[in-house]
Structure 1
Amino acid sequence: MGGSTKARYLRQLIACEGAKFVCIQETKAKELSDAKCYSLWGDNKIGWLHYEGDNGRGSLLSMWSKEAFSYTSHLMGKGYIVVYGCYLKSNLTCAVVNVYANCNLSDKQSLWAELSNIKATSQVMVWSLCGDFNAIRSRSKRKGSTGRVTIQMTIQARLRVSIHSLILTFCLIFPLWDVQNREVSDHCAIVVKSMDKDWVPKPFRTINAWFMERGFCEMGDLKVWNKDVFGDINTSKKRILQEIEVFDCQDCNGTLTDSDRLKRCDLVSRLRELDKKLDSLIRQKARASWIKNGDSCTRFYHSTLRWRRLRNEVKGVEVGGQWCEEPSTVRLEAKKLFETRFKSTKDLGVRLDAVEFKSLSAEDNLSLITDFTEKEIRDVVW
């Protein structure tokens, strides 16, 4: 989190994925404040723990939503933060371990020995280990280095022996895993979900970013052009990032040609154009005017947009005395609500018998349909 770019990426990732628990390694920060953590998360309904490491090196940060995770206690040591608590949605007692393993062999062995002892003396059955283990499973996974592989199988064996069954239990509870693209870091963020919620996209009539696309003025059918030509900005951005990552891997292996470098430069240029379109879309969705002409205050628009989303968000409904967050059930109950509220009936219950309406007399009606005289026209014109 050494700069604003990484902090902005974290805020976007947390907001986009609706994160409930976040583990960050190598924060490079000696101290953190409530204000900094609240800024990263987007609101103040969170708990957090920070391990400062060795003068910022190997520092760790664990953050969680108080609405989703109830904190009980924690343990903290060199290279780890263990947070005990209850996952409120399923009333599940669990331990979330934020890990950063040093590259030094003896330090790794000490770390895993200490974590194994903590696990052995704990009554908690569900554990999640998140972080940077600084290890690979095989030589073929190593990139950009020719050093000896000395610790990988040791760590894998220790993991299998000590926490294999617990990780299996955790995978059954949180079966969805999504590895993000590398954008601002040399590591990939991993998103773990218990279920994939599809709320279907909301309709939006006009997008200012359309005017930034070449050929927009000559397009025919707007719906077809938007789907086939303009496309989804986020999907296009992910595809470009994946292509850039392929070129980066070739560069690490020394197989990147000059023509491939030119292609990579073109992809970076297209990525910048997509970022501009995405910023325009965010400003428009925030429904706020520019503070002044040319002021790209993205933090203001992100906070405004997040505030609107939090205010308008429907997380779930109560059905038969039970709270439900399943998207299909929420949509069905919302449909029933509006059908009931706006359903027409034969008897509207409105009586106008005693109401006296003003009416025009026969003389007034005749004056309205009589042709204009020449004198009346002259008086109006001159």
Structure 2
Amino acid sequence: MWCVLGDFNSVRDIFERRGVGHNSSAGRSSEMVAFDAFLGDLELIDMPLSGRTFTSFHPNGMAMSRLDRVLISTSWSDMWGEPIVRVLERDVADHCPLVLRYSSLDWGPKPFRFNNFLLQSNEFKEAIKTAWGSQNLESWMGFILKERLKGLKVVIKESNAENFGLAEAKKKRLIKRIGDLDLKSEVLGLEDGEIKI
């Protein structure tokens, strides 16, 4: 039973690549045929993507490919069904993240995360120390840790908004702009001025 996700650095068909030096009138390259045969030999199903056609974008804004894939075996499909593979917007990376999703499965709460750059702020460190020390809880250790992290989440959000709110808003605008340009490049191509942004 297999589920393989990742950047395979290869395409299966000429339609999975645009703006790269392959002559589409020549048909499928030997690399494409070999990769397709490899997947066939392993009896892997290449799951279709939702949201985008391409997953990798060259910095020149003209070349794009579908290099990232989710491959499942028939036994995986029999056991779990077929997932939805959503292509998310990329930020400064050249690849878009993929999300493998089964709508009927609940994987539990979201993980605890924060931006590492906050650790460089003395105000942030003090706010964390104060918040952690002010929580007096009695129960089993797993519960105490969970509740302390929940309390820190509030402090982290407030500190982030207070000290870095403008940076976060700018980051979101830039990520949105990159996403808009990626979508435009998939359909229409980009103009010279848009490539240099």
Quick one: higher RCO (CA 8 Å, sep 6+), 1 or 2?
A: 2
TM-score with structure 2 setting the length: 0.39
Greater Cα radius of gyration, structure 1 or 2: 1
